[in-house]
A and B are shown apart, each in its own frame.
Chain A
Amino acid sequence: MSLDYLWTGFAVALQWHNLLFGLFGCFLGTVVGALPAIGPINGIALLLPLLYTLGVPPESTMIVLAGIYYGAEYGGRISSILLNVPGDAGAVMTALDGYPMAREGRAAEALALSGIASFIGGLVSVVALTFFGPLFGQLAVGFGPAEYFVLMVFAFATLTSMVGDQPIKTLIAATLGLVLATVGLDPTSGAYRFTFGEPELHDGIEFIILVIGLFSVSEVLMLLERQYAGRLTLLSVGRGLPSLATVRSCIGAMLRGAGIGFVIGVLPGTGASVASAVSYTTEKRISDRNGTFGKGDPRGLAAPEAANNAAAGGAFVPMLTLGVPGSGTTAVMLGALLLYNIQPGPQLFSERPEIAGGLIASMYIGNLLLLILNLPLVQLFVRMILLPNWILLPGVLALAFLAVYSAYASTLSIVITLSIGVFGYVLRKLGFDLAPLILGFVLGKVAETNLRNALAISGGELGIFFSSPIAIVLWLLAAVVVVLPLVLRRRGVLS
């Protein structure tokens, strides 16, 4: 495919009013991303009718909306790192090493590093979208239920990296996550599972409720203990930008995260949460030789953050090339295109180059704008954790309430969140790591649905899981992920 559409796109995106639209979208996205559970969909839903009514041209509208989408991926990390309250599903993994970095007095470094990782992830994905978009679109078409299931097997294989010095507890946590994922209406048979007649549970346990309960509510209880023991003191925030050596040590993690994030982002129905989870566990498998992941290792922050942003870019591939949305937000953006009577698909690049090209060009520019916008703002954001605990910690709980209520408009959801918080606190006291539980939950639903769909297609024949080249490659990758570290450890390459 010729890149003429891209030059047309740059000519559109670099017009001063579109630059301003892009900047506005990036800023708004960062704000809505920083507020847990609000997310880009709300920002887009808020602005789309307004932009349409005001007669803003479609290319400018798409530039604003893409800015919100990208900005939210940047913003989601802020509350994750500073407060252990993930701003969105993709930012959960960021908290695993980002929050410990902040508690060590390296909040500014963590925020700046995550901004750089987001930039790298976003850049890699938009370059891949530019040059290989249609190719990856075809890859997405090749993924049936069997391939999705084997992809989940691969993801579970990377989960073995989470096994620490208490393997039984890690396995229990992952299994509990899988169990929680089975709650709700079974889409294949229409059966209600573990809902106990409660309509609020028919849709299952919502991810954001689980995450906010497990991380934020339980964290406030843990901090109360620290205060009681006299160990809760005001934090320092560090000097700001990470050193060149730190950035250099994270480049591999960022690039791997970006690659994984982009490929997973291309696949409809997987999304940033799976991308960042697989990226984190893969990176831990590759780089965590001294057991520093989960304790404030910059690579554990950089990999999922790059993956998170790359997945956002990857989600545009099926939307632009096939007219199939890759995520909830791109589904709303697809709706925005249809609102303007524009049909997405391969012909979009030739028939409306100013839309497809303008959108892709705005991603290049938006990424740069976000980096420029975010790095100086680091010192402003980190002041949040310099607030006294009597302001900060009530604020964390208030934010948890607001996030859950604004997403589900139900007080029972708040009660469920609090109860999950108590459950998370008990698990932490018993020596459990919460990350495998989250991973089990994220992967469980996709794994079961695709396992059963694949078996329905094959009439119960297991051969379907080995019937395509994609599935075979994924099986091999899963085997490598499990076996290679064992071999390397035996040879003394890994500790």
Chain B
Amino acid sequence: MGKDLRVPFSARVPALVLFLFAVALAVEAARIEYAFSSDPLGPRAFPFGLAVLLGGLAVAWFVWPGRAEPWPRGGLLLQSVGLLALAYLAAWLFDRAGFLIAMGLLCTGVALIFRATLVQALLSGIGQALLWWLLFVYGLRIPLPVGRWFLGS
């Protein structure tokens, strides 16, 4: 496993990030506060040991980066970011606007990203929001948020 000099430096950047993460983890582990511990190890030793191990492995990964897939670019990158933005937006709306609106929006948007026509996307969004609502609220008796905005609080 000799060091492969043909690998571009960008392929080693994640290993560098992992190393920095391991250092931060070690610092944070060393700073864990506790009044007492009934065992000789205490709460710091295990995570600190893991941080040291992770740091060592990050160095090994830096030297031997191995295979990786290409990152998305252009239109795919836009679609991936759009999908994630939609998902985070739905999570934010979940208890504010309620399940039906958040899920309707999420399912409609994701359907459009997966090449549905507008009618198909609306069918998927509205249909799934209603279907899941009925199943969980009435079938399984699991309450879902109706939306703080509509409850006036």
Contacts and interface: CB of A to CB of B under 8 A. Distances in A.
Interface in A157-211: 166, 168-169, 171-172, 175-176, 178-179, 182, 186, 188-194
A225 B125 contact: no
B153 interface: no
B39 A172 contact: no
Given A179-B54, A390-B114, A406-B142, A166 B38 contact: no
A168 B38 CA distance: 35
Nearest to B144: A405
A431 interface: yes
Nearest to A430: B68
Contacts of B108: 394
B69 to A, nearest CB: 5
Interface string B119-153: 01100110011001000100011101000000000
A448 interface: yes
Contacts of B68: 429-431
Contacts of B144: 402, 405-406
A178 B22 CA distance: 13
A224 B133 CA distance: 26
B132 A402 contact: yes
Contact of B71 (A401, A402, A411, A429): A429
A189 B44 CA distance: 10
Interface string A226-270: 011000000000000000000000000000000000000000000
Contact of B50 (A179, A402, A456): A179
Q: Give the dominant DSSP class at A's interface.
A: helix
Contacts of B115: 227, 389-390
A452 interface: yes
B124 A224 contact: no
B66 interface: yes
Given A227-B115, A398-B128, A38 B140 contact: yes
B58 A398 contact: no
Q: Which of A168, A186, A428, A451 has the most CB of B within 10 A?
A: A168
A32 interface: yes
A176 B66 contact: no
A228 B75 contact: yes
A182 B67 CA distance: 29
A144 interface: no
A168 B64 contact: yes
A179 B69 CA distance: 25
A142 interface: no
B110 A179 contact: no
Contacts of A227: 114-115
Contacts of B71: 429
Contact of B125 (A191, A394, A401): A394
A395 B103 CA distance: 10
B4 interface: no
A438 B25 CA distance: 20
Interface in A408-444: 411, 414-415, 418, 422, 428-431
A393 B114 contact: yes
B101 interface: no
A410 to B, nearest CB: 9
A193 B31 CA distance: 9
Contacts of A397: 87, 106-107, 110
B54 A191 contact: no
Contact of B57 (A168, A406, A456): A168
Interface in A376-406: 388-391, 393-395, 397-399, 401-402, 405-406
Contacts of A456: 38-40
Nearest to A390: B116
A70 to B, nearest CB: 19
Contact of B72 (A191, A225, A390): A225
Contact of B18 (A172, A190, A448): A172
A394 to B, nearest CB: 4
Contact of A391 (B25, B66, B124): B124
A414 B66 contact: no
A477 interface: no
Given A188-B38, A224-B76, A391-B124, A431 B107 contact: no
Contact of A390 (B18, B103, B124): B124
A55 interface: no
A397 B91 CA distance: 11
B54 A189 contact: no
Contact of B41 (A178, A191, A414, A451): A451
Given A193-B43, A399-B132, 7 more contacts: A182-B46, A189-B37, A388-B120, A390-B111, A394-B125, A428-B69, A431-B66
16 contacts: A168-B66, A178-B50, A189-B34, A224-B80, A224-B113, A390-B124, A391-B128, A394-B106, A394-B108, A394-B114, A415-B92, A422-B84, A430-B69, A452-B41, A453-B39, A459-B40
Interface of B: 14, 18, 25, 28-29, 32-43, 46-47, 50-51, 53-54, 57-58, 60-61, 64, 66-69, 71-72, 75-76, 79-80, 83-84, 87-88, 90-92, 94-95, 103, 106-108, 110-116, 120-121, 124-125, 128-129, 132, 136, 140-142, 144
Interface of A: 32, 35, 38, 42, 46, 166, 168-169, 171-172, 175-176, 178-179, 182, 186, 188-194, 217, 220-221, 224-225, 227-228, 388-391, 393-395, 397-399, 401-402, 405-406, 411, 414-415, 418, 422, 428-431, 448, 451-453, 455-456, 459-460
